[in-house]
Structures are given as structure tokens and as C-alpha cells.
Amino acid sequence: MPSATRRGSPPSPPASGPAAPTLKKVAEAAGVHLSTVSRALNPETRHLVAEAATARVLAEAARLGYRPDAAAAALRTGRSRLIGALVPGIANPVFAPILAGAEAVLAKRGYALLVADPGDDPARAVTLADEMASRRVDGLLLATAAGHDDPVVSRCLARGTPVVLINRTEAEARAPAVVSDDQEGLRLAIEHLVALGHRRIGHIAGPPNLSTGALRRRGFEAAMAAHGLDASAIAPATAYSRPAGAAAARQLRAGHPGLTALACANDLLALGTYDVLAEAGLRVPGDVSVTGHNDMPMMDMVAPPLTTVRIGHAEMGREAAHLLLRALDDRTTPPTRGTAVLLRPTLVIRASSAPPR
């Protein structure tokens, strides 16, 4: 039976486990100077160390289980090595490859990515951006930009936080952006449908307050006008979602029942259009051809596989990360106002488009 502790005597200290490995222990194990270990473990300074020495340091650090103290490093350098990202729907398959592309670039420079989803709620986006700022993120990747004066962009500019827009832009173009050529994407879809023989073509447009919705609609109208075709059959969706696509497709068919093709501003809108056409007993593409935009994952597995405009999602993420890193490397020279990387889309032709009956 254990002996009782005398009242007032201090409790016995808990048994301690093995001490956490330190930089000094890694240096001793690798047979190099402490400063060499510090440089080799930092992606920013690793190039200053010989490859053989770097390999030994990394191997010994992994063997010993050494982990840098991120909080201490942030205090020492003034950088958290954290990048925030806001996306409007983390379950939307468009954003997984964008984030993966960005993360691959950032990780090579020792940055970690924090992702939050405010949907398309500007107030929520501001709240999440403020929370990320409280965690001292070094920069922000923003896929939620909307309208003339996006409030998160305003917040970042006021704080001096580097920000790069992804997939969407502001009307004011106050921050650098990496986007697909949305007008060109719709032109490719219309050219394809016209080449198949379609003349009565409608457009399920994206939300008009988003740059993608406005620019893709503009591309549809310009492409139809170039062929002398009526471009009035347009129904804007309230969101980039399957239910919103279905609602817009019902509205469009009610006002324009003779359409033989529907060019949708987004793949989810196209899937909603599939639903409405099936409800009406119409076949795709036998009765109505449908095209999408984005080429989200698994669009080749729906029935029928969707003809769609392919965007370079991973490339978009990589380019945005490079832009942000350049801004972080030289805060004294802010990126040129409105700097934009415009990625060229391609058309992927599948079974949802065919000549009209």
C-alpha cells in the first residue's frame, strides 16, 4: 500500500519522458555546425548549404524526430509561415486542385496553408479574414472576390497584407489575380455548338455579381453576335450549384421552348440542367445539347459525359502561390495594380453535344 503524503509537503514531480530533440543534438548527430543545421532546415536558406550536408541534416532531424518551434521562429523572423485561403465552397470539386497546386508551391518554401470556407457570404468572408489576421498569416489567397469593391481585399490593403485573387476578380482590379479567360471559354463552347449546326442556343449564366458570371455571359453574347445569332435566351443562376442551375433552366425553357442547345457557365449548373431536361422527357444530346464550364473532376463519368470548358485548376493555384511569394519576398515593391495572369482554357468534347435533330 503506498505511503501517504505528509500534509503541506510538495507532490512528487511527474516522471518526465525523454527530452525533445534540439538543434544542437541534430548538429552533433550530423557532424556539422549548429548554424549549418539552422540553414539546412530552413527552405529559404537551404541553398546556402552543400547538398551532402543538407541530406545528413534532414536525415538526422527525421531520425531524432526534431520539429522546429514555429511560434519561436515567428517571433524571431516576424513571419508565421502561414498562408490563408478563402474558398466559396470547400466541397466544390473546382477548388481541390487549385488548393493542391498552391500548397505544392508554398510547401517548398516552408509555408503551410490554412483554408476556410465562407461560402458566398461577404460578411462571413470578412470575419474569417480577420480571424486569419489574428493568427498572423503572412498572406492571403482569395477565391471569394465579388462585386466592385470586395471587403476582404479592402481589409488586406488597409493592413498591408499581400493578397492574390484566384478564379475571380474585382471590378476595380485592386489586387493581383490569376484567372481563366472566361470570355474565351464561352466563345469556345459556342463555336463548337455552331459548328454542329445549332442556331437556337441559350445560356445558363452564373451569378451576375461575380466576375465569372458576368464575363462568361459577355463571352456568350459576343460569340452569338459574331455569328449573327439571337443572344437573348439567357437565365442567370443565383449561385453556382445544381439546384440553382435547375431553377435557371426551368426559367429559360419556359421563355424559350425551342432551344436546341444550352451553354452553361459552370458544370454544376449543367448538371441542374440535365435534371430539368430529364423531368421534361428530353434526352441529352438527342433533343438538347448541353455544355459546361470548368471541367470539374468526374464530369467524364456523368451520363452523358459532359462537353465542357477545361480550366487549368492546378496551374491556377501554382501561379497564384508564385505571385504571393513574390509579394512576400519584396514587400517594398507592391505588385502592380491590376496585375493579372490570364490562363487560356480549352474545350473538352464529350457525349453531351451533338448536331440538332
- Quick: pLDDT tens for 264-274: 999 999 999 99
CB of 235 within 8 A of CB of 202?
A: yes
Q: Where are the alpha helices (DSSP H) in 109-237?
A: 122-134, 151-159, 182-196, 211-226
Q: Alpha carbon 325 to chain centroid distance?
A: 16
Residue 110 burial by Cβ neighbours in a 10 Å radius (0-12, 13-18, 19+): middle
Cell numbers standing for residue 336: 502592380
For range 65-88, the mean pLDDT: 70
- The 10s digit of each residue's pLDDT in 178-220 is 999 999 999 999 999 999 999 999 999 999 999 999 999 999 9
- What pLDDT is recorded for position 23? 73
Contacts of residue 94, Cβ cutoff 8 Å, sequence gap at least 6? 167, 294, 296, 311, 313
Q: Which amino acid is at 98?
A: I
**First CA to last CA distance, the chain:** 92
pLDDT for position 4? 41
- DSSP sequence for 15-78: PP-PPPP-HHHHHHHHTS-HHHHHHHH-TTTGGGS-HHHHHHHHHHHHHHT----HHHHHHHHS
| Average pLDDT value for residue range 321-334 | 82
Please check the confidence at residue 32 and state whether its pLDDT lies above 90.
Answer: no
Beta-bridge partner residues of 139: 83
Please name every residue paired with 235 in a beta bridge, in sequence order, or none if there are none.
Answer: 204
**DSSP state, residue 114:** E
